[in-house]
């Protein structure tokens, strides 16, 4: 009798290779691996072959780089999502896409379950599970690494017993996830937040001290918030990001060191390398400063922060996310123009910006001849603007500080 099937998200690494065998034994399922190209720069055919050699009945690979950029990266850039002001969310953006694609593959093969190699204390398990449960509630989710509770040694023993090939090269001492939008590095010596990241933490960016002594400038053109042209050359999203990763990396741009709040209630020290993401978020925001009204800009910061939490927390496929993106889409309609960014020894700074929809009015801003600002009107405006505060000062603040009644919300110690 044919066995039921499971679709396993497969990277070719130790965990997911062991999982191929482990799932077959523990759950008596045929394993179909699925590997998605999100621009992580790994050669997929080799991974496919390894999956088959390890015992998968089928190994599916898919180039999802364009989907990733169009449906996940650009929307996140438009929304200005930078988790806790520091992390451009590369890993968090990849998970819902992989989950979505796995659900598609599960449909195609009539699988009853999907599986992933996430641990039980990270955010990634949440993103996978919630996305799958949302898109295909009939699918069971299996998470071998979360279930088997092995030490590294025990896992290696299992691999040896089952003839699973373990890379001869020393396994990375860090846990790394990477895609087009960035590299996430954690664990090993990085677990001590006082310890500076060793040189081998970084692979995409040079040490800023070793970066070229001459700065370079890049000009990025945006069309309704989406980057479309780099240094005068019209590029598809994937190429534009790849180019900026190279240019930024060569100048040491895009390193992030963050002690972040995980959804599962712990703080963890994370290192990120994301040259293109850092440059594009900064440039995009500069164009917004030029083209959004003060009110729209202020409101957008709330939306950005909320969207970042939604993405980080694995709630990509929620109605609230769609609703907020409805605002973002509208809010980006005049964010069209160009930004000059200088890359220099780890720094990335705006040098200039322009837009046909610029709200910057030279005639109103200038201190030189041609000034059209209505100076006389300022006096009346200021009078009304300050009226409430003036009243408050008279009625409250200038009467002397009253003593404050304590409002206790905790029982006294020892009660």
Distances (CA, A) of 340 to 172, 223, 243, 287, 383: 37, 15, 16, 10, 40
Interface stretch with ligand ARG, choices 32-40, 139-147, 176-184, 238-246 (CB under 6 A): 176-184
Residue 269 zone, left/alpha/beta (φ > 0; ψ -120 to 50; rest): beta
Q: Cα separation of 309 and 169, whole Å?
A: 37
Which residue in the list 175, 239, 318, 358 is annotated as catalytic? 175
**Number of continuous H segments (helices) and E segments (strands) in the chain:** 15, 14
Q: Cα separation of 31 and 56, whole Å?
A: 5
Quick check: 36 binds ligand ARG (CB under 6 A)? no
Per-residue tokens: 351: 């040098």
Q: Shortest approach of ligand ARG to residue 18 CB, angstroms?
A: 16
Of the two residues 221 and 270, which places its CB atom closer to ligand ARG in the complex? 270
Active site residue 124: yes
Q: Shortest approach of ligand ARG to residue 93 CB, angstroms?
A: 9
Of the two residues 92 and 106, which places its CB atom closer to ligand ARG in the complex? 92
Which residue in the list 30, 37, 124, 129 is annotated as catalytic? 124
Q: Residue 275: which of 304, 307, 243, 305 has the closest Cα?
A: 243
Q: Shortest approach of ligand ARG to residue 270 CB, angstroms?
A: 5
Of the two residues 128 and 344, which places its CB atom closer to ligand ARG in the complex? 128
Of the two residues 31 and 271, which places its CB atom closer to ligand ARG in the complex? 271
Name the 3-class secondary structure at 116. coil
Of the two residues 270 and 288, which places its CB atom closer to ligand ARG in the complex? 270
Active site residue 175: yes
Q: Residue 35's beta-bridge partner residues?
A: 61
Per-residue tokens: 64: 């999802």
Residues 6+ apart with CB under 8 A from 165: 17, 50, 53, 54
Q: Shortest approach of ligand ARG to residue 19 CB, angstroms?
A: 14
Of the two residues 274 and 328, which places its CB atom closer to ligand ARG in the complex? 274
Active site residue 70: no
Quick check: 175 binds ligand ARG (CB under 6 A)? yes
Q: Which of 44, 166, 176, 219 binds ligand ARG (CB under 6 A)?
A: 176
Quick check: 273 binds ligand ARG (CB under 6 A)? no
Q: Shortest approach of ligand ARG to residue 178 CB, angstroms?
A: 9
Helix (H) or strand (E) holding 326, with range, is: helix 319-331
Residues 6+ apart with CB under 8 A from 172: none
The two beta strands, 175-179 and 140-142, are: unpaired
Active site residue 172: no
Q: Which of 37, 177, 273, 288 binds ligand ARG (CB under 6 A)?
A: 177
Give the distance from CA 341 to its chain's centroid. 21
Q: Which of 270, 273, 286, 288 binds ligand ARG (CB under 6 A)?
A: 270
Total of chain residues touching ligand ARG, rule CB under 6 A: 10
Of the two residues 186 and 288, which places its CB atom closer to ligand ARG in the complex? 186
Q: Which of residues 86-105 bind ligand ARG (CB under 6 A)?
A: 91-92
Quick check: 129 binds ligand ARG (CB under 6 A)? no
Name the 3-class secondary structure at 284. helix
- Do residues 184 and 270 touch, judged by C-beta distance below 8 A? yes
Q: Cα separation of 132 and 289, whole Å?
A: 38
Binding stretches for ligand ARG (CB under 6 A): 91-92, 123-124, 175-177, 184, 186, 270
Catalytic sites, residue numbers: 15, 95, 124, 175
């Amino acid at each position: 009798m044919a066995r039921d099937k499971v679709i396993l998200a497969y990277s070719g690494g130790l965990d997911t290779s062991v999982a191929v065998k482990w799932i077959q034994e523990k759950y008596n399922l045929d394993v179909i691996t699925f590997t998605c190209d999100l621009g992580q720069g790994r050669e997929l055919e080799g991974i496919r072959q390894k999956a088959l050699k390890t015992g998968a009945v089928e190994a599916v690979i898919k180039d999802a780089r364009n989907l990733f950029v169009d449906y996940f990266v650009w929307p996140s850039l438009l929304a200005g999502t930078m988790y806790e002001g520091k992390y451009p969310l590369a890993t968090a953006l990849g998970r819902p896409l992989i989950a979505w694609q796995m659900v598609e593959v599960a449909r195609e093969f009539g699988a009853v379950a999907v599986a992933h190699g996430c641990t039980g204390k990270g955010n990634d398990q949440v993103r996978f599970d919630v996305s799958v449960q949302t898109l295909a509630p009939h699918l069971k989710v299996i998470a071998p690494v979360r279930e088997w509770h092995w030490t590294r040694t025990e896992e290696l023993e299992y691999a040896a017993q089952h003839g699973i090939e373990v890379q001869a090269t020393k396994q990375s001492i860090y846990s790394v996830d990477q895609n087009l939008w960035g590299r996430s590095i954690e664990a090993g010596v990085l677990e001590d937040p006082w310890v500076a990241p060793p040189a081998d933490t970084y692979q995409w960016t040079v040490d800023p001290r070793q970066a070229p002594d001459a700065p370079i400038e890049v000009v990025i053109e945006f069309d309704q918030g989406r980057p479309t042209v780099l240094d005068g050359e019209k590029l598809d999203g994937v190429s534009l990001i790849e180019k900026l990763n190279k240019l930024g990396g060569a100048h040491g741009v895009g390193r992030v060191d963050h002690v972040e709040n995980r959804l599962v209630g712990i703080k963890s020290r994370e290192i990120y390398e994301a040259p293109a993401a850092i440059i594009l978020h900064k440039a995009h925001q500069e164009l917004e400063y030029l083209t959004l009204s003060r009110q729209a800009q202020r409101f957008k910061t709330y939306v950005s922060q909320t969207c970042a939490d939604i993405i980080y927390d694995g709630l990509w496929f929620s109605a609230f996310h769609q609703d907020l993106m409805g605002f973002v889409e509208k809010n980006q309609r005049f964010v069209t123009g160009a930004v000059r960014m200088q890359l220099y020894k780890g720094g990335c700074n705006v040098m200039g910006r322009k837009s046909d929809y610029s709200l910057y009015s030279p005639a109103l801003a200038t201190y030189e001849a041609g000034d059209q600002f209505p100076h006389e009107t300022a006096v009346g405006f200021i009078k009304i603007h300050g009226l409430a505060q003036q009243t408050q000062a008279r009625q409250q603040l200038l009467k002397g500080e009253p003593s404050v009644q304590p409002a206790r919300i905790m029982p006294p110690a020892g009660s």
